[in-house]
Copies of this chain bind each other. A is one copy, B any other.
Amino acid sequence: MSVPTPYDPHSPEGSAKRSRRKEARPRELLDAALDLFVEKGFAATRVDEVAARAGVSKGTLFLYFPSKEELFKAVVRENIVGRFTEWNSELETMTGSTSDVLRYCYKVWWERIGCTKASGITKLMFSEAQNFPEIAEFYQQEVIFPGQALIRRILQRGMDRGEFRQVPLDGATYLVMVPMIYLMLWENSMGACSPQVMGLTPQNYMDSALDGILHGLCVRPEATLAPSPSPTVSPHSSV
């Protein structure tokens, strides 16, 4: 969405090779840029490298993005997809225990964000926030706050239904979010150096975190924590 494609008028999808490339170009560039920015940081990433990785020349990059800084912003913007509305409605339709909702939440997050390149954006933001305050601000508005709200709603549901202890919402929200955020940061920095150093697979890490969190939250943990084999989730039955 809003990919800078200098409006190609003709070619009703039966287009030739050249114009198909033209449409694909910005995305390829953004992907290459995401990789490199995440890996090396903004300043240490050379635009030639980005172009080369996208398979084009340096000049071509500047055809689509007027400057390195705008490229950076586009990378962040493009990868901050507003999935939260989707998730919100998804979670509202769930009927199971709030523990299961939380579990499902972790699972879905991992599959759609955590284990994809999109997780690199978070690393990027933490690394470059001070150099790009406007972008950091934007990121908070678009990602952090909606994410917090999502978690908060789940916690509230748990407390409302008597499943969770009465806890201060803000603190508990962090308790839930932080393990996910940390995993993204780790995987895109130190974890990429010596992969096995965490000692745990991401799956195990997340299971442990969930277990700890739910034990801390649930009124009768021992009862709930034998994980019900399949959460009763309506959409995306493949999940």
Interface members, chain A 211-226 (any B CB < 8 Å)? 211-217, 221
Copies, count: 4
What are 8 A-B pairs with beta-carbon distances under 8 A? A126-B185, A126-B186, A129-B192, A130-B192, A144-B197, A165-B215, A174-B209, A213-B216
Whether B39 pairs with A41 at a CB distance below 8 angstroms is no
Q: Which of B39, B139, B178, B221 contacts A182 (CB 8 A)?
A: B178
Q: Does A193 contact B (CB under 8 A)?
A: yes
Q: A-B pairs with the 3 shortest C-beta distances? A: A171-B208, A216-B216, A43-B43
Which of A3-11, A68-76, A199-207 faces chain B?
A199-207
User: When chains A and B are docked, how far (Å) is the Cα of A197 from the Cα of B139?
Assistant: 12
How many A residues are at the interface, by size bracket? Answer: 35 or more
A182 cross-chain contacts in B, Cβ below 8 A: 178, 181-182
A199 cross-chain contacts in B, Cβ below 8 A: 170
Give the Cβ gap from A215 to chain B, nearest Cβ, in Å: 4
A44 cross-chain contacts in B, Cβ below 8 A: 41-43, 131
Q: Does A34 contact B (CB under 8 A)?
A: no
Q: Does A88 contact B (CB under 8 A)?
A: no
- Specify which of A41, A125, A181 lies most central, judged by the most chain B CB atoms within 10 Å of its CB: A41
A128 cross-chain contacts in B, Cβ below 8 A: 41
Given contacts A125-B190, A190-B140, A212-B213, contact A171 B130 (CB under 8 A): no
Q: Does A82 contact B (CB under 8 A)?
A: no
Whether A217 pairs with B208 at a CB distance below 8 angstroms is no
Whether B41 pairs with A189 at a CB distance below 8 angstroms is no
A133 cross-chain contacts in B, Cβ below 8 A: 193
Q: Which of B170, B186, B205, B207 contacts A200 (CB 8 A)?
A: B170
A238 cross-chain contacts in B, Cβ below 8 A: none
A129 cross-chain contacts in B, Cβ below 8 A: 189-190, 192-193
Q: Does A25 contact B (CB under 8 A)?
A: no
User: When chains A and B are docked, how far (Å) is the Cα of A131 from the Cα of B178?
Assistant: 25
Give the Cβ gap from A67 to chain B, nearest Cβ, in Å: 15
Closest chain B residue, CB of each to CB of A182: B178
Q: Does A105 contact B (CB under 8 A)?
A: no
User: When chains A and B are docked, how far (Å) is the Cα of A192 from the Cα of B125?
Assistant: 12
Q: Does A159 contact B (CB under 8 A)?
A: no
